[in-house]
Homo-oligomer: A and B are copies of this chain.
Amino acid sequence: MVQTQSEINQKNSSAVSVEMRKEHAEQIEKALQAVQGHDVQNIFFVACGGSMASLSSGDYFVSRELSLPTATYTSNEFIHRSPKILGDKSLVVLRSHSGTTPETVEAASFAKERGALTVAITMDLESPLAKAAEYIIHYNYKDGSNAIDGELGMYYTFIFKLLNQLEPNQKFERVVEQLKTIQSLIEKNVEKFSIQADAFGKKNKREESIYTMASGAYYSHAYSFTSCLLMEMLWIHSNAIHAGEYFHGPFEITDDNVPFLVVMGEGSSRPLDQRALDFVTKFSDKVEVVDVQDFDYGQTDEDLREFFGPLLAGPVMRLYADGLAEHTGHPLSVRRYMWKMEY
């Protein structure tokens, strides 16, 4: 098949590599310089709900790639548990989309008082979180700019530069370089999965309960889909089951009519997911699979896919919630309690 010039242009442009804006790159460099001067012996990732889930991909990569202890905490547990190793050898990465989540703002102050180095990730430079933390990584949100300057581009660039600084490895440098194509990668995958995500919504529109299941770097995607998309935005009962834990209790709930959304990961945890999927499809007639190996990775190096899969899973899974919203007639913006009262 002969391609027209416009088709060739489109294909090339879809692999186009876009540099991060200068002020964004400088924020990341400042935070990394602070890490350089800080003798970091342990890392904490601290946030609430979907923000915690987003940060925990960082925790996952650190645990696999660095000889440093790392932990993820929901902000209020972090403050009340008050881990004893938290101190002047700690790096604490916090995140709140609006920068206003009170528990996370308090967690930043708490960590700073303990002498930790604090880095806040938020879309609002003027927010309380941005003011409470020492260093800020600010991302653009729905302003039409390239995804390299958005939440995924900024966070992943920061994490992989951090990994490279703490234990240098050329693969981390390649991740940072190739992250510059994420806008087109996201667009490709959103296009690729939109039809099956819509069909999922149609098929499941009358379900009152949908379990999610995943492991490894994808467990946090199951968690945020369960907590933020199904329970919060769609009022559908759910539980994010770890694929390894499935066989140690939860699998007994499986039955013909019990719906599951299973994320089949890319990378080292895939065998866990496969084992859970093999079982659940035998006994439930309502299993939907999001297979990260089916993602379009564009020009991404083969050995870096395990780092790009978790990044792309977010926008893809969002489509499945859009599908449910469309077919249940329940917009994702509807709330019973949030924004309507103090709590």
Contact = CB atoms under 8 A, between A and B. Distances in A.
Given A80-B216, A269-B81, A249 B235 contact: no
Interface stretch (A28-36, A66-74, A126-134, A180-188): A66-74
A239 interface: yes
A322 interface: no
Given A209-B237, A244-B103, A253-B235, A66 B84 contact: yes
Given A228-B249, A244-B103, A215 B85 contact: no
A76 B242 CA distance: 10
B269 A249 contact: no
Nearest to A104: B248
Interface residues on A, range: 35 or more
A82 B60 CA distance: 11
A67 B50 contact: no
Contacts of A343: 247, 251, 275, 279
Interface in A195-226: 209, 215-216, 219, 224, 226
Contacts of A240: 239
Given A226-B239, A250-B232, A254-B337, A71 B69 contact: yes
Copies of this chain present: 2
A75 B77 CA distance: 24
B82 A336 contact: no
A289 interface: no
Interface of A: 42, 48-52, 60, 63-69, 71, 74-77, 80-85, 101, 103, 209, 215-216, 219, 224, 226-228, 231-233, 235-240, 242, 244-245, 247-255, 268-269, 271-272, 275, 279, 283, 335-338, 343
